[in-house]
Amino acid sequence: KYLQSPVKALRTPAFYAAYRSTSTATTKLFIDGKFMESETDKWIDLHNPATNEVITRVPEATQDEMQAAVAAAKRAFKSWSDTSVLHRQGIMFKYQQLIKDNMNELAKNITLEQGKTLADAEGDVLRGIQVVEHCCSITSLNLGETMSSVAKDMDTFTYRYPLGVCAGITPFNFPAMIPLWMFPMAMVCGNTYVLKPSERDPGCSMLLAQLGQDAGFPDGVVNIIHGAHDVVNFICDDPDIKAVSFVGSNQAGEYIYDRASKTGKRVQSNMGAKNHGIIMPDAAKENTLNQLVGAAFGAAGQRCMALSTVVFVGESKEWIKDLKERSEKLVVNAGDQPGADLGPMITPAAKERACRLIQSGVNEGASILLDGRDVQVKGYENGNFLAPTILTNVTPDMECYKEEIFGPVLIILEADTLDDAIQITNSNPYGNGTAIFTQSGAIARKFVNEIDVGNVGVNVPIPVPLPMFSFTGTRASFRGDMHFYGKQGIQFYTQLKTVTQLWREEDVKHSKAAVSMPVMR
């Protein structure tokens, strides 16, 4: 029915009531195919970041509810893992279409709960759809390997099997894309899922669950539980959960990696960043400055791949004043207002922390070229707005350089040579993303080879890989062995079974048992 009239269907009050009770304005749990009110007595108020009005209350799921979600996923695994790969692929095709058809509603929900602009929220959904599209190629991705005649009359082949119940814990900054990095990849491999979205913006995950039902996800294949630390601990410890995917801060990610690994689970943990943009003097000036401004301040700097640090090499530092002019022209407003370039930060605490780090830079000797701390947004005086802010003369020993600010704050360093810029970047503990701007192939090639960062852009400011590749953050930005999506995502959510078979028309007669290691010649 959504295919015929998708947006209209989603706009009915009944649809919203499915994931949020209109009378009490609470967000529901999604367990075993049912949207249900939590019986908890612990609730987290969720505020619209543009106004700080409470828009819903998010439950901290009880032990019984968490256990019910895992039990439902465990039950569903039996039949789901037995479905044909074509069946799962077909559901992904439908799911992709339904998400596309309902893009506007998903984006509106993201803007309401997370604050980013509507255009940016659509980008969030689109990057998630691309992962679902990648899942549609499961018929190739899940192929094993074969070799006939590894020994006389003997063949060996591998199958990829799902793991069982998998779980995901997501951050607030991409409410569509990051859940979609997780459960579709797991599901299409035959696993079932328990998702704990960010307690600050779980609405988009609830809409995605509703669309999943419409696409044909059987009951229990995807379950959603809400909360904070208790749910996270439950996920790390529960013996029926076989793998945990995490995206978020280092504080949480390192803790989750350690705790979940201790119980024998596979864990992939994508964490914080401090992405350096390197500006060479031969870069195409206009394009480079535009790219920098967008990548530093878009989404109010709340992207793990934001270019939050720029290293101007040699004479390129002459462009800093042009960068300032462009940055101050950006329009700060509520995300649903026409013309808004950046919306509010997620919480008052996040804004306060960013302001404190800006001030620490000033106190430690940096210069404030553009100060967005006093911005007033008409009609949204209570929102968590911080306008673009630029600190120059920053050195690597300053707190504002060492900490991930995760706000619309650009830190500027200068270097004499490309080697110095590479050395600065490689000395930073994070290895999430970086980008160089140059017109020289030789410079770009040297940079790509020598930079110790996992996602590299050459004249591309936010090089988030498309899902046929994997998101390959390194060093302090990642813990685990297998990355999100791409081939590595399939490897993460499957285990290999290697079969060695012998078929011989006549059995060879041995006079006695062979006790030495078979070498299969």
173 near ligand NAD, judged by CB under 6 A: yes
- Output helix, strand, coil percentages for the chain, rounded to the nearest 5: 40, 20, 40
Q: Are 213 and 30 in contact (CB under 8 A)?
A: no
Q: CB nearer to ligand NAD: give 6 or 335.
A: 335
CB of 167 to ligand NAD, least distance (A): 11
Phi–psi pair at 224, nearest 5 degrees:
-125, 125
Q: How far is the CB of 506 from ligand NAD (least distance, A)?
A: 58
In angstroms, the CA 356 to CA 108 distance is: 31
Query: Which residue number has the CB closest to ligand NAD?
Result: 248
Q: Which residues neighbour 505 within 8 Å (Cβ) at sequence distance 6 or greater? A: none
Q: 215 to 244, contacts with ligand NAD by CB under 6 A?
A: 228-229, 232
Smallest separation (angstroms) from ligand NAD to the CB of 334: 21
Among residues 56, 275, 392, 477, which is the contact residue for ligand NAD, using CB under 6 A? 477
SS (H, E, C) 15-43: HHHHHEECCCCEECEEECCEEECCCCCCE
Q: Does 272 bind ligand NAD (CB under 6 A)?
A: yes
How many residues interact with ligand NAD (rule CB under 6 A)? 29
Closest approach of Cβ 122 to ligand NAD, in Å?
18
- Alpha-carbon torsion 279, 280, 284, 286, what sign? positive
Gyration radius (Cα) of the chain, Å: 25
Sign (positive or negative) of CA dihedral 165, 254, 489, 306: positive
273 touches ligand NAD (CB under 6 A): yes
Q: Is 492 in the site for ligand NAD (CB under 6 A)?
A: no
Closer Cβ to ligand NAD, 313 or 346, answer by number: 346
Angle separating helix axes 103-114 and 203-215, nearest 10 degrees: 160
Cβ proximity to ligand NAD: between 230 and 322 the closer is 230
Pick 173 or 210: Cβ nearer ligand NAD: 173
Among 252, 280, 412, 422, contact with ligand NAD (rule: CB under 6 A):
252
Chain position carrying tokens 């929102």:
383
CA quadruple 324, 291, 198, 212: dihedral sign: positive
**Distance from the Cα of residue 386 to its chain's centroid:** 23
Report if residue 198 touches ligand NAD, rule: CB under 6 A: yes
Nearer to ligand NAD, 171 or 388 (CB): 171
Question: Which region, judged by CB under 6 A, interacts with ligand NAD, from 34-42, 58-66, 320-328, 470-478?
Answer: 470-478
Among 27, 404, 428, 485, binds ligand NAD (CB under 6 A): 404
Candidates 81-89, 98-106, 269-277, 410-418 — which segment interacts with ligand NAD by CB under 6 A?
269-277
Residues paired with 20 in a beta bridge? 27
> What whole-number distance in Å separates Cα of residue 432 and Cα of residue 473?
4
Least separation in angstroms between residue 430's CB and ligand NAD is 9
Got the DSSP string for 456-508?
EEES-SS----TTS-B--EETTEESSS-BSHHHHHHHTEEEEEEEEE--SSPP
For every residue of 129-186, DSSP letters joined together read: HHHHHHHTTHHHHT---EEEEEETTEEEEEEEEE-SEEEEE--SS-TTHHHHHHHHHH
Q: How far apart are CA 11 and CA 92, in angstroms?
A: 23
170 contacts ligand NAD (rule: CB under 6 A): yes
> Which segment (24-32, 209-217, 249-257, 374-382) binds ligand NAD by CB under 6 A?
249-257
> Catalytic pick from 135, 136, 189, 304?
304
Please, what is the minimum distance in Å from the beta carbon of residue 109 to ligand NAD? Answer: 17
Minimal distance, residue 432 CB to ligand NAD, in Å:
5
The question of whether 304 is a catalytic residue gets the answer: yes
Which residues within the stretch 288-307 sit at the binding site for ligand NAD (CB under 6 A)? Answer: 304
We find the least distance from the C-beta atom of residue 412 to ligand NAD, in angstroms, to be 20
- Nearest Cα to 436, choosing from 460, 409, 419, 471? 460
Residues from 304 through 323 that contact ligand NAD (CB under 6 A) = 304
Site of interaction with ligand NAD (CB under 6 A): 169-174, 196, 198-199, 228-229, 232, 247-249, 251-252, 255, 270-273, 304, 404, 406, 432, 471, 473, 477
Which amino acids are annotated catalytic?
Answer: 304
